[in-house]
Chain A
């Protein structure tokens, strides 16, 4: 009995082994999510041909860049074993404040109930820097500084008072979201300078696919490829990857996320590292805010609301970042964001209702987390052998 049993087992393992080994190396590959995204995309494109059109691809890429900027900073925070729930309202708040600095005209009927109306901040002629040629630059710098400041406040509260990051950032999220709505009385601020809008729309390299029949090519046929957001986000990603993998700061983030006590005993200044990571997170949220605001052409208090946070954390988790800290990479998050944008694109192409889309997103994040657990187990087993 036993021998027969054993022979059978041996047989199945030998025929299974090559498939299994392939499946395992596929699952363990650093590029797993990228492969998955490509397979997913090609399969979906068969059923929904619009997905594969150059127009759609260009469009999806443009959707990806701002999301990437905040997902990267969330990756940092997650590696540390923390979480930053305030990135969304940091975006909304900085968007509003940036617009107040830059606006070249403001509609009295919209803003006369704002607490700032009639002051230097909000007049019919525009915001603080109205009419100045420096408006765009100052506006952007103010946004970045404010984002960093919010991050600092988060980090300070977390490290100084030993508060849970979840709680601190939830509070600051509520606070700044409310503040932004109060300042604007829930109105979007338009009238932003042209130079700022270029940042959202302007492309550096565009592509035209098709025969050249006339001397003019219609604007809508030109597909933006390399845009300012592309340059900003990819630049940010490269810098982040460098910071994470090559600098003392990056190594310390991992060590604190893996074992804060051991790190402190080894002389790592955990408070300062943690505070700086939250500052980076706030900064990146502001960068994303600049991109979104420029693209929309408005200062929007509700920017970063809705499910954005879920998308960001989901993208990071799909990319292999652990919510327990100590694990994550910029590359993984990059693939995660691509996967997420594509998923959304497919679900939209299927003409599903937004409610269904959210439900599906939830399931996908859960699956990603399960796959990650399997991967970790396999890696551990390989380590042991």
Chain B
């Protein structure tokens, strides 16, 4: 267990603001280092320093005792350092095999043409080692985000890296895929590779890491063996204060006045006979594994994707052929799963992002002239309500915000349109503990003010901590329904995996299939 990569007093500033301040770390082979910290704590910058994306202002790095100063990401790759990023870096228009071999295709023959047979068989082996049974010539855009993540890992395995850095690798994985990933990580560690594991899921970090390093405001605030940390201590050191509870208490009870009724929604191969009701003041959770149809269902309700049969009613009024415009008119808001692709205008200022849905409310006259001052003031006020941390909202672009603040901009955008029904798909994905708490508080306030909130999440803890009721989706159906007093992690998970015999069948009888099919 010698130090493989030694960081000595690394410092990096952007325009006078230190993102990384005097960090010294030893990354050893045959060990997993857990790196945690809130968004903006400097983890990404530190990793970018190691990866050669940015260069240190002072301090140095030593790789197996030799000075290591990567100028480009390619340098880092050559030195045997691989990154598994939170944002996937695959070419979706290429096949799995092409993605894995993108940096160098094996050639054959005098013409030097690509040896497709070889890359296929190599790819098949690599995929098998991460537990994927996919055809190597499948296009990446046809596989799920979870599978893409595993392909990335296969790619790093192919590059035979000595140090693999995992940056939030589990955000888009199902529970089973996560377990498989952890098993692979363990295996890699035993093979003598060094691993760095960055995650907001502290339980995972504690489980996986030999040592844990905690960053706050660019500095290393703790660096000790994993056994020295409890989750509480990790949180306390990350935020610099102690959070008594991870979830705010609910301030009001739900009513039983129906707000949104989904009746028998069907789309072949995606969702089957979905019916449920969301009430005023209710926070309703929708839990399911990836591929269970939960996101697809939300998109159908909001009118982004079409469905074949079924009906959606808002306060009794049926919405015929739903579209986002109609849903907005019926006071529905939709915080999508992908805030970059579907939620934000990244290169546009915050004020215009926030006012996007309600632009017409600030406009008058024949050609809808915008009252800029009124618009900015309203956006500013909403930003304040949500405690958005940003520069001048008229000038700062959405992409310059941290993940948590970006999510607040998306929520602010919908808040401004004064909706009654909030649909939120993974509202806290990839954002840090402090910001999560704030978003939970916002959700509670929305409900206590009489809105209905439908939350989709793959973090069951979060739904249990937040919701009045949880629906479990599995293979396109609602397979179980749990009220608050029935909340129990294990039972809900079993329903999601269909290994359950205590869940109350939701819609119709006979939905329960034999347990054990999943594994």
Produce 1/0 per residue, B335-378, CB < 8 A to A: 01000011111111000100011011001000111101000000
Query: For window 302-342 of chain B, which residues contact chain A by CB distance below 8 Å?
Result: 302, 304, 324-325, 327-328, 334, 336, 341-342
Residue among A243, A251, A259, A265 making CB contact with B359, cutoff 8 Å = A251
Across the interface, do B15 and A385 meet the contact criterion of CB distance under 8 Å? Answer: yes
Check: A89 CB closer than 8 A to any chain B CB: no
Across the interface, do B343 and A262 meet the contact criterion of CB distance under 8 Å? Answer: yes
Query: For window 5-51 of chain A, which residues contact chain B by CB distance below 8 Å?
Result: 6
CB distance from A76 to the nearest CB of B (A): 15
Q: Which of B134-142, B170-178, B396-404, B452-460 contacts A (4 or more CB under 8 A)?
A: B396-404
Across the interface, do A247 and B356 meet the contact criterion of CB distance under 8 Å? Answer: no
Please indicate which of the listed interface residues B15, B324, B399 has the most CB atoms of chain A within 10 Å of its own CB: B324
In Å, the complex CA distance between A225 and B340 comes to 50
Check: A210 CB closer than 8 A to any chain B CB: no
Q: Which of A138-146, A192-200, A213-221, A266-274 contacts B (4 or more CB under 8 A)?
A: A266-274
Across the interface, do B356 and A248 meet the contact criterion of CB distance under 8 Å? Answer: no
CB distance from B480 to the nearest CB of A (A): 29
In Å, the complex CA distance between A248 and B362 comes to 9
Across the interface, do B370 and A265 meet the contact criterion of CB distance under 8 Å? Answer: no
Given A259-B341, A262-B343, A262-B345, CB of A249 within 8 Å of CB of B368: yes
Across the interface, do A247 and B370 meet the contact criterion of CB distance under 8 Å? Answer: yes
Across the interface, do A382 and B348 meet the contact criterion of CB distance under 8 Å? Answer: no
CB neighbours (8 Å) of A264 from chain B are 304, 324
In Å, the complex CA distance between A265 and B345 comes to 12
Check: B408 CB closer than 8 A to any chain A CB: no
Across the interface, do B400 and A248 meet the contact criterion of CB distance under 8 Å? Answer: no
In Å, the complex CA distance between A326 and B348 comes to 8
Check: A384 CB closer than 8 A to any chain B CB: yes
Given A248-B363, A252-B359, CB of A259 within 8 Å of CB of B345: yes
Given A265-B324, A267-B324, A385-B15, CB of A255 within 8 Å of CB of B352: yes
In Å, the complex CA distance between A69 and B372 comes to 27
Given A259-B346, A326-B348, CB of A382 within 8 Å of CB of B367: no
CB neighbours (8 Å) of A254 from chain B are 345, 348, 352
Give how many A residues have a beta carbon under 8 Å from the other chain's beta carbons: 30
Check: A246 CB closer than 8 A to any chain B CB: yes
Across the interface, do B400 and A383 meet the contact criterion of CB distance under 8 Å? Answer: yes
Check: A263 CB closer than 8 A to any chain B CB: yes
Check: A113 CB closer than 8 A to any chain B CB: no
Produce 1/0 per residue, A298-339, CB < 8 A to B: 000000000000000000000000000011000000000000
In Å, the complex CA distance between A336 and B200 comes to 48
Across the interface, do B342 and A265 meet the contact criterion of CB distance under 8 Å? Answer: yes
Check: A345 CB closer than 8 A to any chain B CB: no
Across the interface, do A383 and B396 meet the contact criterion of CB distance under 8 Å? Answer: yes
Check: A258 CB closer than 8 A to any chain B CB: yes
Across the interface, do B357 and A327 meet the contact criterion of CB distance under 8 Å? Answer: no
Across the interface, do B360 and A261 meet the contact criterion of CB distance under 8 Å? Answer: no
Residue among B14, B328, B344 making CB contact with A385, cutoff 8 Å = B14
- Of all chain A residues, the one with the shortest Cβ separation from B341 is A261
- New contact pairs (5) apart from A248-B359, A252-B359, CB-CB < 8 Å: A259-B346, A263-B356, A265-B343, A266-B328, A267-B327
Interface residues of B (CB under 8 A from A): 14-17, 58, 60, 302, 304, 324-325, 327-328, 334, 336, 341-348, 352, 356-357, 359-360, 363, 367-370, 372, 396-397, 399-400, 413
